[in-house]
Structure 1
Amino acid sequence: MDAESTKSYKTPCPQCAEVHWGISDEGQYYCKSCHTVIEKTLELEETEVYNKNARAQSINRGLRKAKRKEWGWEWYICEGFQFILLKQAEALEALGIGSGIKEEVMCVLWRKYLQRTAQAYCRRPMRNGQRLVLACDSSVASSELDTDSEICPTDITVDSDFEQRSQSSLGLPSTGEHTDVSDAESMTSVRSGSVDGAAYIQKKKPWERKLNMPMTLAFCYLSLLWVRASVTLSDLLRLVFYRHIPYYNSQENFPETINIYGADLKAFEVKNFPVHRNILEIAHWLGVFLQLPEFPPITETCYYHPNVLCMKYLMEVNLPDELHTWTCTVAEKANLDNVEFLTFNPKLKRKRMIPHDIQAVAIIIVTLKLIFGLDDNYEWQLAHLAQGINRENDRGFSIFDFQKWYKTMRPSMDEARKKLEEEQARFYWDSEKVLYYRHKSRARILKRRRLAKNLQNQFIKLAGAAPDAGNQGPSSFVFSWDEQNGDKTCFHGHSLEHIVKKDKKEISRRKGYWLNSVRKCRSRYCQHWRQYDECQYPSSYRFVLSLFSLVLRVEARVIHYEVSLIEDKLYKQVPVRRIKKLTKTKI
């Protein structure tokens, strides 16, 4: 077989200069004398491929024939995202997060999305990318959609077998139903493994959103928020980073019926980390677009309540437990513990979705500013006062020392940040499954992958790096503080006596309290989270922001903006005076 296929190729080997070629199982030419692999691949005629792979498979509605082995069976983009959502929901349930989240919540959200975008579960589903996405303000006619579906346990069940959720379960047309497609559309879709892949990557309008990988995390967050699971958005992104939830290279878990090729890479390939703010915006858009009902109320016993999250983050950053009383007071004075304010209600059409984790951290920072000032002066005076009291104190408890806490947290924060940067630098983006845009580039990609893997193994041997310990168990804590650990001081049981008055229930504006922004801009085009300049703020305040930004893995300016919003609610500022524009009038 090799002799017949290689008899027309007479080019000598660049390594040994002999003409003795063979063909590997992957279709690559290699020299039988020196085993050198070259970039030339075996090109089969189209008729041979059809004859070799001519087979049929019965899937619910009828027979589906494979055109080529490299492309696999015909499938749609929404089928791939449905499989990814299925695996993410199963991963959440395997971690013990929200029992029944797959069948009772995630499946219903996905069904409503397919209805609203007219891709399935409607009388006239869209064909071959006629209109793959809808605008936020647009809606499908009520006569074409089912209006009985709600976010509640329904008769819709998600089976583990992906074959049963193929075109028939999604309401998509089978092979026999799109025979009226024109030749131009067929040539367009043949450039991708999916039927609608080429039409999917077309340039969208500014007000339109398409299915993408960050949107799958938005579906997960909405489902977690509905069941009120003990997972915030920052915890979800941390689970994604450590691959406890499939997100990166999720196409590796695709069944054989789904083969990604060409234009499909634009939809499923991930080359950057998800951003907290972007996922929150997409989740808010989904809630409004799907016209979801009001979510279950967030009460004081719910994990997303600021009183519960503040206690969690106080333990995280090794602060005294007595601060929790003051954080509850700040949340009450700013009206941040209101159930109507915390509960997500898409019908109200608010400007944004409440970031519960960032808001809890901002409440702690405002409380620290109220008590310690964080102005590089007052907190160190209180630290010297606490040191003098602790030297003369024989009552068995210590007064909280801000300076000692800073010296304890600074090296721990630097060590955790260095570890995170190393993990991000070593993050492996490439998939084990070979992905390529063109069939002719497959051999070149395989060769580059093989060379890169060999170089990586050589560098590991030269550096003498320790072997990877594997994927560690999930945890929602970055720092762990044990009172029995003598290396690092635990400040949980320290007292705030002589620093604050316990009988003082009302929070009044301290004379030395400084605001993040003197005036709040009312412009609809202004983005306050971009207005954080580190050189304009005290070093203690910058340190606290950096510490919490490491815990949540968000930018410091995002937390700074949330602090400014809370201060605006605590201290009603004078709004910016509007200046009327003078216009010339004709006489």
Structure 2
Amino acid sequence: RDFNERCAQCSEVNWGVTDGGGFYCRSCHNVTERTREVVNTDFITNSRVQTISKGSRQQEKNDGGCEWYICEGFQLVLRKQVEALEALGVCPQMKDEILGNFWRCYLQKSEQAYCKRPARETVKALSVCERSTDVDSDPERSSLLHLLSLSESEGDLQTDCSFVSSVSKVSESTSVYSGSVDGSLYLMKGQKEKLRMTMPMTLSFCYMALLWVREPITLSELLRFVVEGHIPYFNVFQHFPEKMKLCGLDLKIFCVESSPVYEEVFNKMHELAAFLDLPRFPDITESCFLHPDMLCMKYLMEANLPDELHNWTCRVVKKIGIGEVDFLTLTPGNKSTRKVKYDVLAAAVIVVVLKLLFLLDDHYEWILSEFAEERNKNNAEGGPYFEFRKWYEVVKRSLDVEQKKLDEERAKYLWRCEKPLFYSVKRKSKVLKRRQMVVNLQNQFGKLSGSVQRAEKPNPSSFQLSWSEENTDGSCFHGHSLKGILQEKCGLLKAMNPDYWLCTLKLCNEKLCGHLAHYREVEFPQSYHFVLGLFSFLLRIQPSYIHDEVCLIEHKLFNKKLYKKLKYSTVLRK
């Protein structure tokens, strides 16, 4: 009664008292650090004040389930994903200080928490009763807050959303078509206007947090770790507490039966950053892992290309200005700058350099290979010269083996959840018995067919293809020299070929076509297609995405020559 300060969140004076004696705003549920001073304990014992209940009186349903909200489910998914990232070596501050703040901001912007709850139709449909005015004295009924939280720290990512189920009592008849309280209302059209949460968006949250702390994990690596099972995504609901029952539309929201798409996660991350009104992200400098020079070095090693190519990639990056801080750093909401795909950009730079040196027209690169082979025969001193033909044969053989393994793993992947889903206590024993019978039959058929049991998942690695210079078979090309295909002019090493073919003369409108250029395999040389396929495998994306970046880099690199050529062709038409 004596606390009359305005709420910092909504500027109203409408305070209640929590169980711990602290003040919270009844309008927006903002909790302050101010606590009530107890003067007379007798008065406190006999008084009745409005408090946040520890749990709804009708919290537990007849089937032993617990009332929960969709945002609580996504919060649990995010917690599992960030814990997996921490196990991979990500800084521990990312969980609460970065991703936790992003999630709280999203809940507020989407009007799911930390705001005035408007009198919407969704709230009416949930049959929300009047808020509790008594402290729930039943210690046996634990709310979803205790199911989800592992620590008692205030503001933790694990406990932010639980107040939704603790400030209201929901009737048992709510959300007939889902196990959650608001599952049947979550997929309504009106929810899409506020960037409705989806499973791919959980990865957008993770990538946004990784980008903020500038961790050495690209988006392609993040999605690869998801597919390999190192980060929870498929059947993640099997990690939900026992009392969080899933059925009906809940399965449509949390069940995933397809791999995450690079473009979807990338675009949603930028939409999310703009929706949250985030400031400019920390600068991407030359010492940062996401800088093109650093990523080019990594992909050159993984593609088994000579180390000397890194000097050429650095020259291209500097020439067209894609290594500048303002170009690389994300500024949410700035529509004048192009969205940078760091991994795709670095791969495209390497492809352009290979075209500059070897042309990749199915003819010139083989001539250079024969020339380098002859020089290697007469080379008694120094390292061997790089032969494109030999590199092509070694890498293609290894790539075919790895691609076959990947295809087999995709074909054998079981989309069904290991944890059986049951929606009532009566059917629980029957479902478990049936599931055990299926597992036993699978094991018996496996023994009869002689199939090998699945080995444990290997530890995640940033490199999918590894090449060791210690091998005596000459399969590693890192130390090979490019002098066999270069010529010296004015003290500088330059490419022998003066020609260069462009992938396209004119870029398309990306907003209308969806791509900067159209890629059809039959229209391009096989050498170019092989190089695109190699980096497409390493990044697990479509070759057309890399082709778009290659076309954009070429237009920046040959801007003046292109302008003259287009102007000349226009004059001829007139």
Name the TM tier (shorter chain): 0.7 to 0.9
| 2:236 is equivalent to residue 253 of structure 1 | no
Bigger drift between 349-358 and 159-168 goes to 159-168
Deviation, structure 1 residue 463 = 3.1
* SS of residue paired to 1:480: coil
TM-score by length of 2: 0.78
Identify the match of residue 61 of structure 1 among 45, 48, 54. 54
Identify the match of residue 263 of structure 1 among 240, 249, 253. 249
Q: For 1:358-393, what per-residue CA distance to the aligned partner results, in whole angstroms no more than 9, with x for missing partners?
A: 110000000000000000011111100000000000
| 2:90 is equivalent to residue 97 of structure 1 | yes
Deviation, structure 1 residue 522 = 3.4
For residues 106 and 431 of structure 1, the distance between their equivalents in structure 2, rounded to whole angstroms, comes to 27
| Pairing of 1:233-248 with structure 2 (within 5 A) | 233-248=219-234
Task: Name the structure 1 match of 2:289.
Answer: 303
Identify the match of residue 396 of structure 1 among 363, 376, 382. 382
Task: Name the structure 2 match of 1:564.
Answer: 551
Task: Name the structure 1 match of 2:524.
Answer: 537
Q: For 1:119-169, what per-residue CA distance to the aligned partner results, in whole angstroms no more than 9, with x for missing partners?
A: 00113267784599xxxxxxxxxxxxxxxxxxxxxxxxx963499879984
* SS of residue paired to 2:398: helix
For residues 75 and 378 of structure 1, the distance between their equivalents in structure 2, rounded to whole angstroms, comes to 65
* SS of residue paired to 1:229: coil
Bigger drift between 499-508 and 301-310 goes to 499-508
| Pairing of 1:408-447 with structure 2 (within 5 A) | 408-435=394-421
| 2:161 is equivalent to residue 170 of structure 1 | yes
Task: Name the structure 2 match of 1:546.
Answer: 533
For residues 394 and 382 of structure 2, the distance between their equivalents in structure 1, rounded to whole angstroms, comes to 21
Distance 1:123 1:104, change over 3 A: same
Distance 1:516 1:384, change over 3 A: same
Identify the match of residue 83 of structure 1 among 76, 82, 102. 76
Identify the match of residue 333 of structure 1 among 319, 325, 331. 319
Q: Report the structure, 1 or 2, having the larger helix content.
A: 2
TM-score by length of 1: 0.76
Task: Name the structure 1 match of 2:340.
Answer: 354
Q: For 1:265-317, what per-residue CA distance to the aligned partner results, in whole angstroms no more than 9, with x for missing partners?
A: 11111101001111101101111111110011000000000000000000001
Task: Name the structure 2 match of 1:160.
Answer: 150
Q: Which amino acid counterpart does residue 81 of structure 2 have in structure 1?
A: Q
For residues 341 and 279 of structure 1, the distance between their equivalents in structure 2, rounded to whole angstroms, comes to 21
Task: Name the structure 1 match of 2:477.
Answer: 491
Task: Name the structure 1 match of 2:451.
Answer: 465
Task: Name the structure 2 match of 1:22.
Answer: none
For residues 402 and 352 of structure 1, the distance between their equivalents in structure 2, rounded to whole angstroms, comes to 34
For residues 564 and 350 of structure 1, the distance between their equivalents in structure 2, rounded to whole angstroms, comes to 20
* SS of residue paired to 2:353: helix
Q: For 1:414-442, what per-residue CA distance to the aligned partner results, in whole angstroms no more than 9, with x for missing partners?
A: 00000111111122221122236899998
| 2:276 is equivalent to residue 285 of structure 1 | no
Task: Name the structure 2 match of 1:213.
Answer: 199
Deviation, structure 1 residue 210 = 1.6
CA contact (8 A) 1:119 1:125 kept: no
Distance 1:128 1:467, change over 3 A: farther
* SS of residue paired to 1:348: coil
For residues 491 and 278 of structure 2, the distance between their equivalents in structure 1, rounded to whole angstroms, comes to 43
For residues 233 and 112 of structure 1, the distance between their equivalents in structure 2, rounded to whole angstroms, comes to 23
Distance 1:507 1:491, change over 3 A: closer
Deviation, structure 1 residue 66 = 4.2
Distance 1:564 1:440, change over 3 A: farther
Task: Name the structure 1 match of 2:101.
Answer: 108
Q: Which amino acid counterpart does residue 357 of structure 2 have in structure 1?
A: I
Q: Which amino acid counterpart does residue 211 of structure 1 have in structure 2?
A: M
Identify the match of residue 370 of structure 1 among 356, 369, 375. 356
Distance 1:230 1:393, change over 3 A: same
For residues 261 and 61 of structure 1, the distance between their equivalents in structure 2, rounded to whole angstroms, comes to 26
Deviation, structure 1 residue 504 = 7.1
Task: Name the structure 1 match of 2:509.
Answer: 522
Task: Name the structure 1 match of 2:365.
Answer: 379
Distance 1:515 1:507, change over 3 A: farther
Distance 1:349 1:529, change over 3 A: closer
The RMSD of aligned alpha carbons is 3.3
Q: For 1:510-532, what per-residue CA distance to the aligned partner results, in whole angstroms no more than 9, with x for missing partners?
A: 64311111221236311226721
Identify the match of residue 316 of structure 1 among 302, 312, 326. 302
| 2:107 is equivalent to residue 121 of structure 1 | no
For residues 340 and 434 of structure 2, the distance between their equivalents in structure 1, rounded to whole angstroms, comes to 45
* SS of residue paired to 2:506: coil
Distance 1:320 1:174, change over 3 A: closer
CA contact (8 A) 1:288 1:349 kept: no
Task: Name the structure 1 match of 2:139.
Answer: none
For residues 207 and 563 of structure 1, the distance between their equivalents in structure 2, rounded to whole angstroms, comes to 35
CA contact (8 A) 1:125 1:172 kept: no
Identity over aligned residues, as a percent?
A: 46
Q: For 1:401-460, what per-residue CA distance to the aligned partner results, in whole angstroms no more than 9, with x for missing partners?
A: 000001111110000000111111122221122236899998997687556545533442
CA contact (8 A) 2:270 2:332 kept: yes
For residues 483 and 510 of structure 1, the distance between their equivalents in structure 2, rounded to whole angstroms, comes to 30
CA contact (8 A) 1:382 1:499 kept: yes
Distance 1:546 1:443, change over 3 A: farther
**Which stretches in structure 2 are left out of the alignment for 5+ residues?**
1-50, 126-147
Task: Name the structure 1 match of 2:32.
Answer: none
Distance 1:555 1:467, change over 3 A: same
**Which stretches in structure 1 are left out of the alignment for 5+ residues?**
1-57, 133-157, 580-587
Q: Which amino acid counterpart does residue 548 of structure 2 have in structure 1?
A: Y
Aligned residues: 491
For residues 462 and 95 of structure 1, the distance between their equivalents in structure 2, rounded to whole angstroms, comes to 38
Task: Name the structure 1 match of 2:26.
Answer: none
Bigger drift between 499-508 and 246-255 goes to 499-508
Distance 1:441 1:569, change over 3 A: farther
Q: Which amino acid counterpart does residue 168 of structure 2 have in structure 1?
A: E
